[in-house]
Chain A
């Protein structure tokens, strides 16, 4: 490679509906300010967003897809965490 690699940033945007910031893609930029501007140009050309976060991709720690069975096992074996696990008589109505 003849050129220095331009750092990579992950882009998160929050739309008008008040939902949390959601990952929408990535951009390359030399610093955070330029990353924000690039993210605006690339991911919000049609009013998709009221707020943008950019985070250096290198700062993200991700789980390993190969570990997913044991990593998420505790949730699969605990049906008692869900409301439908418990019985409420019909006469009581909606609860």
Chain B
């Protein structure tokens, strides 16, 4: 879903230290849109950038279960509860597809989880915002998943095969997420004045943080050239953000809601909606760990991981015991 990690490459492993002939062959392969597969030779910086990017993406899916999980037991009807539960299960699944894709690059899932819990790996800034009302579940599905789709569709053509294949699967499932969110918003907007106000309040709180999901402005994003050249990333942050804004503003107006941006105007000449300036200091603060829910999210994740340790240990011990017994008393094949 959440690929703010694309905004930097690892300075430590620059392409210059590697064999120019190999680098040339690698670049040719990428240029003709051949997929790079795990056992193929690849530049060290390409590998590291992908490991960081895919693992951050996976962590975002996993942490992303928390804000929505917050409303599972309080969903207003069985229909909504079933839908939300299915969505949260999908996020878990997406995290697992992505961890598996990253593992093909030579890092273990345990290592990635450890990096997340140690605070060394990041996840998308958007999940550090709280879900204060049921309408936030609608806003997340509509806006957060909508922004994620904009980001992820180009990733289906990413040069690294396992990542591209995981993204195709994820994008297919993500469309249900956005529609269930928009339906929640629509129902609230067609409800009582208080319900519509809930929807408006959710939009007010989520709109700007959602725009920040696309990462820093192109003017500030210094490292995107390598990821573009390697065809990991296909569009710039600002291009994707603009596409999202153009798609989303009319949807909000259909709901009868207003966007919390007095400068939002339609530029007839270019055919684009223009927003006011994003508050980048907020973005930086949340990424650096000081958003409304950063500590709570990490605490919940760390606790869940620690509480599950005995289950993992028991499962492994049981498997080891069975394997030992099977060794001792071989049986005919069934």
Instruction: Point out residues on A near B: beta carbons under 8 Å.
Output: 1-8, 25-31, 34, 41-42, 45-46, 62, 64-66
Q: Given the interface contacts A3-B312, A8-B103, A65-B37, does A41 sit within 8 Å of B319 by beta carbon?
A: no
- Asked if A34 and B315 sit within 8 Å, CB to CB, the answer is yes
Q: Are A6 and B96 in contact (CB under 8 A)?
A: no
* In the complex, chain B residues whose CB is within 8 Å of the CB of A42: 93, 96-97
Give the CA-CA distance A59 to B318 in the complex, in Å. Answer: 21
What are 6 A-B pairs at a CB distance below 8 A?
A3-B312, A4-B316, A5-B108, A27-B100, A45-B90, A45-B173
Binding site secondary structure of chain A? loop
Question: Nearest-CB distance from A29 to chain B (Å)?
Answer: 8
Complex Cα distance A3/B97, Å?
21
- A25 lies within 8 A of B100 (CB): yes
A25 near B316 (CB under 8 angstroms)? no
B110 near A3: Cβ-Cβ < 8 Å: yes
Taken together as a complex, chains A and B put the C-alpha atoms of A66 and B93 apart, in Å, by 33
B89 CB-CB contact with A under 8 Å: yes
Known contacts A42-B96, A65-B37; is A5 also within 8 Å of B315 by CB? no
B109 at the interface (CB under 8 A from A): yes
**B interface bracket (residues with beta carbon within 8 Å of A):** 20 to 34
Name the one of B40, B93, B312 contacting A41, with C-beta atoms under 8 angstroms. B93
A58 to B: closest C-beta gap in Å = 13
CA distance A3 to B117 in the complex (A): 14
> Is B39 positioned at the interface, with any CB of A under 8 Å from its CB?
yes
Interface hits, B50-108 → A, CB 8 Å: 86, 89-90, 93, 96-97, 100, 103, 108
CA distance A64 to B41 in the complex (A): 11
- With A3-B110, A64-B39 already in contact, the answer to whether A45 and B315 are too (CB < 8 A) is no
Given the interface contacts A3-B110, A6-B109, A62-B39, does A45 sit within 8 Å of B316 by beta carbon? no
Residues of A within 8 A of B111 (CB): 1
CB distance from B44 to the nearest CB of A (A): 18
Chain B residues, CB < 8 A from A3? 110, 309, 312
Cα–Cα distance between A29 and B311 once the two chains are bound (Å): 11
A13 to chain B: closest CB distance in Å?
12
Tell me whether B223 is interfacial, beta carbon within 8 Å.
Answer: no
**In whole Å, how far is A74's beta carbon from the nearest beta carbon of chain B?**
22
